[in-house]
Amino acid sequence: MRERVDQRPILILRESSRPSLKWMLAGTTLLAALTVDLALNAVVRARLDVGVFHELLPGIGLQHVKNTGVAFGLFAGQSVLIIAAPIISVIVILAYIALETRTRLAGLAGGLLLGGSLGNLVERVGSGEVTDFIRLPYWPNFNLADIFIVAGVALVAAGIFSAPREGEADREGGSPASGAPDEPEGLAAPDDPDFRD
């Protein structure tokens, strides 16, 4: 009689750890983006005078401006919309992370979006304005938080328009058709004769 080796707890642990991994990745990305953004904004406020343009390349440089709107200076002066936009954005991003089944995509894209959104929100709540300092031709000044938001949106869009790679659904915990985890190869079913005395 072959001794029964039950691997099901291991499978359940691996499947249940994926949501935790997704949120850990999102949290790590969020903290990294938020820390870098706030630290660099603090340096800009301390070192660059408001309105002075420091050219790095033709038409491209650093210019410290105070933004009372949202990303890229949009909706400046519209206080109700400015307060509501970050709150709605965070709720939508959290829902995206929860619903997206691709662990790395959800964690990285969601973390970048949260880091950028919260970076601008923290400054706005603290001082009523956001520090923007990157200057490009024919474009409103912006900061790292705006870059993180754009990068996160680009990743989400890429995920929407790209088909999952072969076998990706199985690694995420099941086949697309059934939504249930596939039985690992070589694992005997409960009614297998080898399980019986």
Residues recognised as catalytic: 132, 146
Partnered with residue 60 across adjacent β-strands are 57
Partnered with residue 136 across adjacent β-strands are 139
Distance from C-alpha of 119 to C-alpha of 19, rounded to nearest angstrom: 25
Distance from C-alpha of 20 to C-alpha of 103, rounded to nearest angstrom: 9
SS3 53: strand
Partnered with residue 57 across adjacent β-strands are 60
SS3 77: coil
Structure tokens at 131: 């520090």
Residue pointed to by tokens 């029964």: 4
Distance from C-alpha of 171 to C-alpha of 105, rounded to nearest angstrom: 14
Q: Are 30 and 114 in contact (CB under 8 A)?
A: yes
